[in-house]
């Protein structure tokens, strides 16, 4: 165990807070905060998956919300067609996301830099239009999920607390997985590719293949978040994959600190709470949020984790 | 026949409009190396300014001219206040900062003009159908868009390739330190280029305004189309943007118009009517995917730096 640092202490405090939140919610009778934090945890999961390719892999995907939609639609469509079992819905959601990531990744990874940002954005927008065109499944208006995924008595998704802990378990599981991936040989190659692709290729690594696998893993994780999101809102619509949602996810990652394991969780908590807080002060919360983002980009390098890290040196 | 000619012209008109938007985006990217997501917001502001000024002055043309000036000014202010601090930073920083600007502009518009859309009515002399071929009429306004956009494209070409300022712009794009060392005020030049890009976006917005309603978020979907065009045409290339814009405008318009009927020949009519809307909105992205496979750097890449 390394020495005590401010960022570790804050992270531990935040995680403890997330674990104990339902107790507080039960004790105070504040149901709203549990609903809010279920959303926070799900989007933190999506942001963590984006951090894997963005922070560690250097692949700036601006289309990550597409997986939220794909995962969500997998649950919604299966539920509507009479397949209510979560043991089928969740694997399908993850598999569909993997398939989409495989195709989009194979195409997008032919390019780099700004092109990659624009192309992932454009493909996500395509997914958005396709979902809007699905007349059978609600089209623009979206699809109501009348029955949450059924895990045959193992866990009841209709119970707020159980559902919250399921989401939190998924988040911790994914972060554990990312931690293992990042420190594996595979993860080191992917991080090496971020730093210097040419050199890695010269050593003999097939760069694109490694990046594509990483891209697909990230997509699958985000597809899981999408399946949870559809269960959380009992509803899925094309808006879940609108490009501003991809932007939100990017902001969470940057705000928390790119390439920091718990950065996206921190980013999601701060961003969504800030959004909630500002929207209670004024209806025009984005008027403050927009310039705030600009200021964060201009002056706040390294995000919150970077800022906390500075306490130790200074 | 009538329908084909009409849709063909619609495609051309939409393509030219997309070109105005993509040209500004690609100019700013090619010269300042800045990714500006808020370009779509400038397009929206152009439309809102035009609707407001036209209502104040009672004249469509006067309103359009004032709106053009206002977006130019807004672009310059935006560059000086916020965006010039982003030059030389990571592209990801550009994306985030300008994403913040989009949030700001959308909300500001909601605050000032309210959540409901505006309409920009056309004057009577622009609503008459004009005979273009024997027996075929086309709305005067759409024809006017085609003429104006072609004129602007020509002026842009002459301005960049044949004038002294254009020469400086091109020189600035290839080596900013060198041109600064030669005593040219490169910062002023950048501000001017950004203003020009903003004015082009504003022009596209105000010309599109009478056809669609003026509403919040109108710039976002079209911005993504402009991205697709830049990717297809090659970043930083105005010529590429022009050809790709017309191509995309045509494919999108013609696809939406004729794909449902084409599908009906192959599939059953219910299957066709289900698949057609989704498929026709996918067409340009499929096109982009094909271009990426064949020519990853775009069809007409600008000269390497």
Q: In 3-state terms, what secondary structure has residue B137?
A: strand
Report residue B147's pLDDT band, with 50, 70 and 90 as the boundaries.
very high
Q: Which residues of chain B lie closer than 8 angstroms to A136, CB-CB?
A: 274
Please tell me the predicted confidence (pLDDT) of residue A314.
46
Q: In 3-state terms, what secondary structure has residue A236?
A: strand
B residues 214-243 closer than 8 Å to A (CB): 220-221, 224, 227-228, 230-231, 235
Q: Is the pLDDT of residue B304 over 50?
A: no
| Cβ neighbours of residue A188 closer than 8 Å, sequence gap 6 or more | none
Model confidence pLDDT, tens digit, residues A55-91: 999 999 999 999 999 999 999 999 999 888 999 999 9
Q: Is the pLDDT of residue B305 over 70?
A: no
What is residue A284's DSSP assignment? T
Query: Are B225 and B245 within 8 A, CB to CB?
Result: no
Q: Chain-centre distance of CA B47, in angstroms? A: 12
Please tell me the predicted confidence (pLDDT) of residue A284.
83
Query: Are B235 and A114 within 8 A, CB to CB?
Result: yes
Cα separation of B93 and A246, whole Å? Answer: 15
Tokens for B48, please give them.
Answer: 């809102």
Residue B183 in any domain: the answer is: yes
Please tell me the predicted confidence (pLDDT) of residue A110.
86
Cα separation of A103 and A124, whole Å? Answer: 12
Q: What percent of chain B has pLDDT over 70?
A: 98
Model confidence pLDDT, tens digit, residues B225-276: 998 898 888 877 888 899 999 999 999 999 888 888 888 888 777 777 777 7
What is residue A146's DSSP assignment? -
Binary contact (B278, A119; C-beta < 8 A): no
Interface predicted TM-score (ipTM) of this complex, two decimals: 0.84
Residue B38 in any domain: the answer is: yes
Mean pLDDT for all residues in chain A: 90
Domain of residue B98, residue span: 17-217
In sequence order, which ranges of B139-268 are alpha helices (DSSP H)? 140-162, 164-174, 176-181, 186-208, 218-233, 238-266
Residue B291 in any domain: the answer is: no
Cα separation of A271 and B41, whole Å? Answer: 23
Burial class (CB in 10 A: 0-12, 13-18, 19+), A20: exposed
Of A61, A83, A87, A37, which is closest to residue A217 (Cα–Cα)? A61
Q: Which residues of chain B lie closer than 8 angstroms to A130, CB-CB?
A: 278, 281-282
Instruction: Establish if B283 touches chain A: CB-CB under 8 angstroms.
Output: no
Q: Is the pLDDT of residue A1 over 60?
A: no
Domain count of chain B? Answer: 1
Residue B246 in any domain: the answer is: no
Domain ranges of chain A: 30-243
Model confidence pLDDT, tens digit, residues B71-112: 999 999 999 998 988 888 888 888 889 999 999 999 999 999
């Amino acid at each position: 165990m390394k020495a005590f640092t401010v960022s570790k202490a804050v992270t531990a405090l935040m995680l403890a807070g997330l674990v104990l939140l339902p107790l507080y919610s039960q004790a105070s009778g504040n149901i709203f905060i549990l609903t809010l934090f279920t959303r926070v945890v799900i989007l933190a999961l999506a942001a963590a998956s984006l951090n894997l390719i963005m922070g560690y892999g250097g692949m700036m995907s601006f289309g990550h919300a597409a997986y939220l939609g794909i995962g969500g639609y997998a649950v919604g469509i299966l539920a509507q067609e009479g397949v209510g079992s979560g043991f089928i819905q969740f694997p399908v959601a993850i598999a569909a996301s993997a398939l989409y990531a495989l195709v989009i990744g194979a195409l997008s990874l032919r390019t780099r830099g700004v092109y990659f940002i624009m192309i992932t954005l454009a493909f996500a927008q395509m997914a958005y239009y396709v979902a809007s065109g699905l007349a059978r499944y609600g089209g623009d208006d979206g699809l109501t999920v009348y029955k949450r995924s059924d895990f045959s008595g193992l866990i009841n998704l209709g119970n707020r607390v159980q559902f919250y802990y399921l989401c939190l378990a998924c988040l911790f599981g994914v972060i554990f997985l990312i931690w293992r991936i990042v420190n594996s040989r595979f993860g080191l190659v992917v991080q090496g590719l971020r730093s210097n692709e040419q050199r890695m290729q010269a050593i003999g690594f097939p760069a694109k293949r490694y990046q594509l696998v990483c891209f697909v893993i990230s997509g699958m994780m985000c597809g899981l978040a999408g399946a949870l999101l559809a269960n959380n809102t009992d509803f899925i619509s094309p808006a879940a994959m609108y490009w501003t949602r991809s932007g939100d996810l990017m902001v969470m990652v940057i705000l928390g600190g790119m390439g920091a394991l718990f950065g996206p969780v921190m980013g999601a908590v701060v961003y969504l709470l800030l959004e909630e807080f500002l929207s209670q002060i004024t209806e025009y919360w984005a008027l403050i949020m927009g310039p705030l983002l600009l200021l964060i980009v201009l002056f706040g390098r390294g995000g919150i984790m970077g800022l906390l890290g500075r306490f130790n040196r200074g | 026949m009538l329908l084909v000619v009409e849709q063909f012209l619609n495609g051309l008109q939409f393509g030219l409009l997309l070109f105005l938007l993509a040209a500004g985006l690609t100019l700013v990217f090619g010269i300042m190396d800045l990714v500006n997501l808020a370009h779509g917001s400038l397009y929206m502001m152009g439309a809102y300014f035009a609707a407001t000024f036209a209502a104040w002055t009672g004249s469509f043309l006067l309103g359009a001219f004032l709106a053009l000036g206002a977006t130019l000014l807004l672009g310059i202010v935006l560059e000086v206040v916020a965006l010039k601090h982003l030059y030389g930073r990571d592209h990801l920083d550009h994306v985030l900062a300008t994403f913040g600007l989009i949030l700001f502009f959308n909300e500001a518009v909601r605050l000032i003009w309210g959540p409901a859309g505006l309409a920009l009515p056309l004057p009577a002399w622009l609503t008459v159908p004009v005979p273009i071929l024997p027996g075929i009429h086309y709305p005067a306004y759409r024809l006017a868009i085609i003429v104006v956009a072609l004129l602007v494209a020509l002026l842009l070409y002459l301005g960049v390739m044949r004038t002294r300022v254009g020469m400086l712009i091109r020189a600035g794009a290839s080596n900013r330190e060198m041109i600064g060392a030669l005593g040219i005020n490169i910062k002023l030049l950048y501000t001017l280029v950004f203003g020009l890009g903003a004015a082009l976006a504003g022009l596209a917005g105000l010309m599109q305004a009478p056809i669609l309603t003026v509403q919040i978020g109108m710039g976002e979907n079209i911005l993504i189309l402009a991205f697709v065009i830049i990717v297809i045409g090659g970043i930083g290339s105005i010529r590429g943007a022009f050809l790709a814009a017309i191509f995309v405008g045509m494919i999108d318009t013609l696809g939406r118009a004729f794909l449902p009927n084409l599908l009906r020949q192959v599939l059953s009519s219910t299957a066709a009517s289900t698949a057609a809307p989704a498929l026709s909105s996918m067409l340009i992205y499929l096109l982009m995917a094909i271009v990426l496979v064949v020519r990853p750097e775009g069809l007409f890449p600008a000269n390497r730096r």
